[in-house]
């Protein structure tokens, strides 16, 4: 749903300009230094990017899912590490509070997230609990008006920058499944929290993940999301469902950028006396990529609209994430192929995208988890 086309167009225009004029020229520097310049993060704050999804009452832009998807497609047209700066705060880090938090919790945290004053991060995955998220072992044991948290979270995006974690921990040790899990808002500066060293990743340099270790960390009981135990896994699933449409939109944006670069190269690069774009075998690769980007974009927008209409989009969110992330991998692979030998050389940027996009098929649920969600929903509906 688009509330006001001209307001959205103005936002898309300023995000597009920001991407072209500020982010694209900084891509190599970010990859070299593994960090995003502070000036760029400040500009993201000024543009309101940290508050895209947060209600206007709390100082955000309150974008609908369709509007958010369209903004992510624009922001996706550069190194994905830039999107990651705001990604957890507009997405998985804040949405648990927004969806299931109390009014007090929303008022306490959302305005500072919307302004970009604090960075939110999502702490679900553990060394022994990745795809099987419900088996998480981190415990939160009630002690007076606090919970005492112990455990280790793994691959936590933006943990080194985080001010607040949305943490999933087991409050009922007797219940080993989903209903024993609760969600908390945890101040990252609490005593009893330490960070592992930054993970050395395949790509997306400038975006950071690391372990977060909780050792007798005391979290106020008032920070239990929704003030109800046992709802944390469902909160996480709702957050991830929305996040999957968001990531699918990012995939569309990155794929579009890769395809634009590929087309430009194919039209400039000459072999056998003519631009390689004139050769039908190269054209086939360009056309396949164009078709797939278009298909993914249609899926993303459709899933987003359905969510805005209040429909259950568990299946559509997973379909969009599965298709768009796999599509992005194929588009990047064809991009390298069209670039030929140059595609394997760092100077051309395409090999960086090739490594960067590999993550899309893994995080916020692997492709196999999306398949599992889709098929389960089909079987349930048919039964």
Q: Which residues are at the interface with ligand COS (CB under 6 A)?
A: 122, 124-125, 131-134, 178, 233-234, 237-238, 240-241, 314, 363-365, 369, 372-373
Whole-number Å distance between alpha carbons of 44 and 279: 42
Nearer to ligand COS, 134 or 148 (CB): 134
Q: Closest Cα to residue 52, out of 120, 113, 123, 102?
A: 113
Q: What is the closest distance, in whole angstroms, from the C-beta atom of residue 155 to ligand COS in the complex?
A: 7
Minimal distance, residue 59 CB to ligand COS, in Å: 26
Based on CB atoms, which residue is closest to ligand COS, 53 or 262? 53
Q: At closest approach, how far in Å is the CB of 322 from ligand COS?
A: 12
- Which residue in 67, 292, 351, 364 is the catalytic one? 364
Do 354 and 335 contact (CB within 8 A), yes or no?
Answer: yes
Q: How far is the CB of 28 from ligand COS (least distance, A)?
A: 27
Give the separation between CA 130 and CA 125, rounded to whole angstroms. Answer: 5
Residues contacting 93, CB < 8 A, separation 6+: 113, 119, 120, 121, 122, 158, 162, 164, 165, 166
Residue closer to ligand COS (CB basis): 30 or 369: 369
Burial class (CB in 10 A: 0-12, 13-18, 19+), 373: buried
Q: Which is nearer to ligand COS, 279 or 363 (CB)?
A: 363
Q: On the CB side of 23, how many CA atoms lie within 13 Å of its CA?
A: 25
The DSSP line for 144-179 is TTEEEEEEEEEEEETGGG-SEEEEEEES-TT--SGG
> Is 364 a known active-site residue?
yes
Could you list the active site residues?
A: 364
């Amino acid at each position: 749903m688009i509330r006001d086309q001209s307001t959205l167009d103005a936002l898309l225009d300023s995000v597009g300009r920001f991407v072209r004029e500020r982010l694209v020229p900084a891509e190599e520097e970010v990859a070299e230094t593994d960090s995003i310049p502070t000036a760029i993060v400040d500009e993201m704050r000024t543009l309101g990017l940290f508050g895209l999804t947060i209600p206007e009452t709390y100082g955000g832009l309150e974008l609908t899912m369709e509007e958010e998807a369209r903004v992510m497609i624009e922001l996706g047209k550069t190194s994905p590490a830039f999107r990651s700066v705001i990604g957890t705060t507009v997405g998985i880090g804040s949405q648990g509070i927004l969806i299931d938090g109390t009014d007090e919790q929303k008022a306490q945290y959302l305005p500072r997230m919307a302004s970009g004053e604090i960075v939110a991060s999502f702490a679900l995955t553990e060394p022994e609990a990745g795809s099987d998220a419900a088996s998480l072992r981190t415990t939160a044991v009630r002690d007076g008006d606090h919970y005492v948290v112990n455990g280790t979270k793994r691959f936590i995006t933006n943990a080194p920058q985080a001010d607040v974690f949305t943490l999933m921990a087991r409050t009922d040790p007797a219940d080993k499944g989903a209903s024993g899990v609760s969600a908390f808002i945890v101040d990252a500066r609490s005593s009893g929290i330490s960070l592992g060293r930054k993970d050395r990743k395949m790509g997306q340099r400038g975006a950071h993940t690391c372990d977060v270790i909780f050792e007798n960390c005391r979290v106020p009981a008032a920070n239990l999301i929704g003030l109800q135990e046992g709802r944390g896994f469902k909160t996480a699933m709702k957050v991830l469902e929305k996040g999957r449409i968001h990531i699918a939109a990012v995939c569309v944006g990155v794929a579009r950028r890769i395809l634009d670069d590929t087309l430009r190269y194919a039209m400039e690069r000459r072999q056998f006396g003519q631009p390689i774009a004139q050769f039908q075998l190269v054209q086939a690769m360009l056309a396949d990529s164009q078709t797939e980007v278009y298909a993914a974009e249609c899926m993303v927008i459709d899933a987003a609209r359905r969510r805005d209409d209040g429909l259950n989009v568990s299946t559509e969110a997973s379909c969009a994430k599965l298709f768009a992330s796999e599509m992005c991998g194929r588009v990047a692979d064809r991009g390298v192929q069209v670039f030929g030998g140059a595609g394997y050389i760092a100077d051309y940027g395409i090999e960086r995208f090739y490594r960067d996009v590999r993550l899309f098929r893994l995080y916020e649920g692997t492709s196999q988890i999306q398949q599992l969600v889709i098929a389960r929903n089909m079987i349930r509906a048919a039964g």
